[in-house]
Amino acid sequence: MSIFGHTLPLSADQLRQLGRVGVLLGGESSEREVSLMSGNAILDALRVAGIETVAIDLKGNSAAIEQLLNADIDRAFIALHGPGGEDGRIQAVLEFLNIPYTGSDVQASALAMNKLHSKQLWRGIGLPTPDFEILSPNSNWVQILESLGGSAMVKPAHEGSSIGMAPVSSAAELAEAFTAAAALDSSVLVERLLTGAEYTVAIVDGVVLPPIRLETDNTFYDYEAKYIDEDTRYICPCGLSESKENELKALALTAFNSLACKGWGRVDFMANEAGEFFLLEVNTVPGMTSHSLVPIAAAAVGVNFEGLVAKIILDTLPS
């Protein structure tokens, strides 16, 4: 028994209901390699649980329907990261084919994937997120940087895994970072750089898992810190007081629900020097690699990787 109730071993009836599970992985986004790592870890866990599985490396939008039909699956575990996998497109294809899938639906996936629209929604309902500006080739770099306090973070609106992100502290750096980010995404934003601690909070089927504090010796928690470095520190318990941890968890759930997300996901935060929390983004298909955060949070409450994966796929069954 765990915080999710009974998950493993699965009963014969559960295995029958689940049928053949397709793990969607790879794809063609800039996060392909991370997706392959996540997907293969999920495949191994599903097989340990006795579930019939097949790996489906989607090769592009035009071939997706044919690949899914040929795989003859009963449901899908989405392990695709980035555009095409987290932005509602594959979710729409699966709904068209009447194939149940893990995680958030088309609309929530699209909204959460867009950092700009997420921040605009949160501002509209009074949730805290760092001050930001939308960038264009005609932006006044000096004025924008001054309005954000002199230090900022440039972000492509639709990329994940910190791809295309860059900290800046001069107008020249801002212009250069915009050019690099704009090569990846048609929408680029820049937000005030906060210098407090970084936290992440995982949510699985409405259960808010213990927050993790992230520490890296890199300039920020970038792609290398997330997937390559062995000295990135994942601190859980995160060191907050009980009241501050409860505040962070409540804010995570409110932000997750505000985008109509469901199933599972992860909410990322920065704190300022005063310890106030600010929303960065919601990830609707978080990583599931050896460095990934949702499995670390689950382990903190006694749920191993196989049990976590089983819970996520079981949520695709009718309630």
| Active site members | 31, 161, 227, 266, 268, 281, 283, 287
Q: What does the block give as tokens for 306?
A: 């196989």
Tokens 């555009």 sit at which residue? 83
Distance, in Å, from the CA atom of 226 to the CA atom of 266, rounded to the nearest integer, reads: 14
Would you say 167 and 133 are in contact if contact means Cβ atoms under 8 Å apart? no
DSSP conformational letter for 194: P
Distance, in Å, from the CA atom of 260 to the CA atom of 310, rounded to the nearest integer, reads: 23
Would you say 183 and 278 are in contact if contact means Cβ atoms under 8 Å apart? no
Distance, in Å, from the CA atom of 24 to the CA atom of 56, rounded to the nearest integer, reads: 5
Partnered with residue 199 across adjacent β-strands are: 213, 269
Q: How far is CA 234 from CA 77, 142, 225, 239, 286, in A?
A: 26, 36, 11, 11, 16
Beta strands at 20-25 and 52-57: parallel, antiparallel or unpaired:
parallel
Tokens 């440039």 sit at which residue? 154
Distance, in Å, from the CA atom of 17 to the CA atom of 11, rounded to the nearest integer, reads: 10
Would you say 294 and 42 are in contact if contact means Cβ atoms under 8 Å apart? no
Distance, in Å, from the CA atom of 264 to the CA atom of 259, rounded to the nearest integer, reads: 13
Distance, in Å, from the CA atom of 45 to the CA atom of 49, rounded to the nearest integer, reads: 6
